[in-house]
Amino acid sequence: MKKFVIAALATVAATSAMAQNNVGSCGWGSKVFQGQRGVAPQVLAATTNGTSGNQTFGITFGTSGCTQDGVVSSSWKTAMYIDGNRVALARDAAAGQGESLDTLATVMGIKDADRAVFASTVKSNFGTVFADEHIAANLKSVLTATAALSQYAAAI
């Protein structure tokens, strides 16, 4: 029974840590362990937020780095899509159009009004975005440097 309880707690902590890393990123735990990598800081940040209830308070009142805009963001979907579709995405990015580029825009939450600018920006920066295996990081840099698309960089 003791092993079961420990396994259950570890699972909950790991799940909370993943959620903390990908969704929200606010609360005291996020601030105390900000910038640290690895399982231990993630679990400790999630535990800090979970046991004190400060993340819920922060979301409710807009404190501790939390916002009330109702947007839950997750960059892991974008990274997963890019990693799983590198070849098709490179082909479409070079052309400035195509299904995989449209799907990437959808996954990133790019508004219809910004899709043409996104496609042309990726095409004109193809050499930078696909310079190495760090496509997501490269794309994030390009979007950050593009005023019309900088708000979408957080989706990566």
pLDDT of residue 8: 47
Q: Please tell me whether residues 6 and 53 are part of one structural domain.
A: yes
Residue 66 lies in a domain: no
Q: What is the mean pLDDT of the chain?
A: 78
Q: Please tell me whether residues 99 and 52 are part of one structural domain.
A: no
Q: Please tell me whether residues 90 and 54 are part of one structural domain.
A: no
Q: Please tell me whether residues 30 and 89 are part of one structural domain.
A: no
Q: Report the range of poorest mean pLDDT among 66-70, 122-126, 133-137.
A: 66-70
Average pLDDT rounded to a whole number, residues 138-154: 94
Q: Please tell me whether residues 135 and 88 are part of one structural domain.
A: yes
pLDDT of residue 17: 41
Q: Is the pLDDT of residue 47 over 50?
A: yes
How confident is the model over 51-104, as pLDDT tens digits? 767 767 766 776 766 666 655 555 778 888 998 999 999 999 999 999 999 999
- Contacts of residue 16, defined as CB under 8 A and 6 or more positions apart, other chains included, come to 43, 46, 47, 49, 50
Domain span holding position 88 = 76-155
How many domains are contained in the chain?
Answer: 2
Q: Which of 27, 61, 95 is the last residue of a domain?
A: 61
Residue 134 lies in a domain: yes
